[in-house]
Structure 1
Amino acid sequence: MRHSFRLRTYLWLVDVDRLPALPRALRPLARFDPRDHFAGTAPTLRAGLDRYLAGQGLPPPGGRVVMLANARVLGYVFNPLSVFWCHHPDGALAYVVAEVHNTFGERHCYLLRTDPQGRTEVPKEFYVSPFFPVDGSYEMRLPEPGDRLALTVRLRRADGVPFTATVRGARRPATPGRLLAMAVRHPAATMVVAATIRLHGIRLYLRGLPVRPRPRHHPQEGMK
């Protein structure tokens, strides 16, 4: 069975220590809340990241951290994948954290050491799609964005590569005018992302793709 879809939307690329300061009237269109990442209990995104890293036995990176993610729009957010590029004080990349959310309200982080092209492979440890068990590995290409965004995640199992997701985009400054234009062009953007994933899941189920049981989720250290 083959199935594919494409969704146009927008994402934010932000420094976690210098989040956008929007005019009061526009704040409902883009809010970055520490509750939406990691354990959701830290006062800031940086503190949440540091707690997660400490749970993995690692020190804070000490340098700039850049996050690619959806912001809350009208009080709602869903991030299938958030990526954090963590740097040493000298600017060198220390590690990449890929945070995955599923539609069951659970989240899991993959701590990555990437090559100069942003590539790495990591065992799958988290139940995401109801059509795949927790096995195999992810082949990821997550280079830090410049003027262009080009990310790829492939699920590799013993019988091949049954799933590939790509994110492509062009960098634009987040001016108030552009944010308003995005809100008009893509209203309730994160709600649309969540609804689209569920809609295509229903279509696959109706086409006869079997559902795999969901195992009990055990939060990682630093994610509790």
Structure 2
Amino acid sequence: MNSVYPCTIAHVRTTPSRYALRHRTYLWLIDPDRPPRLPAVLRPLARFDARDHFGGSAPTIRAGLERFLATRGIELADGTVTMLTHARVLGHVFNPLTVYWCRRSDGTPLCVVAEVHNTYGERHCYLLRPDADGRAEAVKELYVSPFFPVDGGYRMRLPEPGPRLDLTIHLERHGARPFTSTVRGSRLPATAASLLRLAVRHPLSTLAVSAAIRLHGVRLYLRRTPVQPRPRHHAQKGMQ
């Protein structure tokens, strides 16, 4: 079940002026209870640590997810989880978006959790109930970009990946869509050979993602894009 997806992440802003970026990287689709078993020499290139998700204090990623869901009256019990994420690479990780597809023990969909991290070290999880096409909506609750306030909502399409990875997130404000993010990619088996090829093609991939976000932020600032004040962030229940 574990797979890796070479992919292109695209952002398009339409206000106050149009600005677009594209970044190539790779994401992992894993069972957090059974992550890829890699040769010891390659493990620094792909680590999946509980400290990088939810409150960072749970003993495992699944335990953090179960605690978050339990505070919202949802019991995962013997259900299964599929997780799309960046791995920790050479000690560094930055995960703008991690998605968890949760199913009951009989295989029927239970819920989806979209975990968002910003560049200020803050994180927020959105509990979603997508329709059969993977479409869901959520009220925006985390300051992500310094050029958008914390208002409006998200309209998402998050189908569980198969041979293709195809995610879309729209920010909606005042009846318009000022920002759209897409993630597109194709599946590869999670093998040592696949990881080596991708690590050579995208060295220090998570550091590159973090640096790219900051670089484009500087470009937008130099274009005199108005900066919005960042409100104080309060940790969610179940995320401590």
TM-score (norm: length of structure 2) = 0.92
In 2, are the aligned partners of 1:61 and 1:87 still within 8 Å (CA)? no
In 2, are the aligned partners of 1:83 and 1:98 still within 8 Å (CA)? yes
Q: Tell me what 2:63 maps to.
A: 47
Bigger Cα displacement from structure 2, 177-186 vs 59-68: 59-68
Q: Tell me what 1:27 maps to.
A: 43
Q: Tell me what 2:230 maps to.
A: 214
Q: Tell me what 2:121 maps to.
A: 105
Kindly indicate whether structure 1 or structure 2 has the higher relative contact order, using CA contacts under 8 Å at least 6 residues apart: 2
Q: Report the AA paired with residue 139 of structure 1.
A: R
Please, which of 31, 35, 38 is the counterpart of residue 15 of structure 1? 31
Question: Matches of 1:19 and 1:68 in 2, distance apart?
Answer: 12
In 2, are the aligned partners of 1:14 and 1:68 still within 8 Å (CA)? yes
Give the 5 Å matches for 1:127-206.
127-206=143-222
Paired-residue identity, %? 65
Question: Equivalent residue of 2:220, what SS?
Answer: helix
- Structure whose residues are more often strand by fraction: 2
Question: Equivalent residue of 2:24, what SS?
Answer: coil
Q: How far off is 1:57 after superposition?
A: 2.4
Please, which of 119, 131, 134 is the counterpart of residue 115 of structure 1? 131
Question: Matches of 1:88 and 1:41 in 2, distance apart?
Answer: 25
Q: How far off is 1:16 after superposition?
A: 1.1
Which runs of 5 or more structure 2 residues have no equivalent in the other structure? 1-16
Q: Report the AA paired with residue 50 of structure 2.
A: P
Aligned positions, number: 224
Question: Equivalent residue of 1:72, what SS?
Answer: coil
Q: How far off is 1:159 after superposition?
A: 4.9
Q: Which runs of 4+ in 1 moved over 3 A?
A: none
TM-score (norm: length of structure 1) = 0.98
Give the 5 Å matches for 1:68-107.
68-107=84-123
Q: How far off is 1:64 after superposition?
A: 1.1
Q: How far off is 1:40 after superposition?
A: 0.5
Q: How far off is 1:62 after superposition?
A: 2.8
In 2, are the aligned partners of 1:61 and 1:86 still within 8 Å (CA)? no
Question: Equivalent residue of 1:100, what SS?
Answer: strand
Question: Matches of 1:150 and 1:36 in 2, distance apart?
Answer: 24
The alignment's C-alpha RMSD in Å is: 0.8
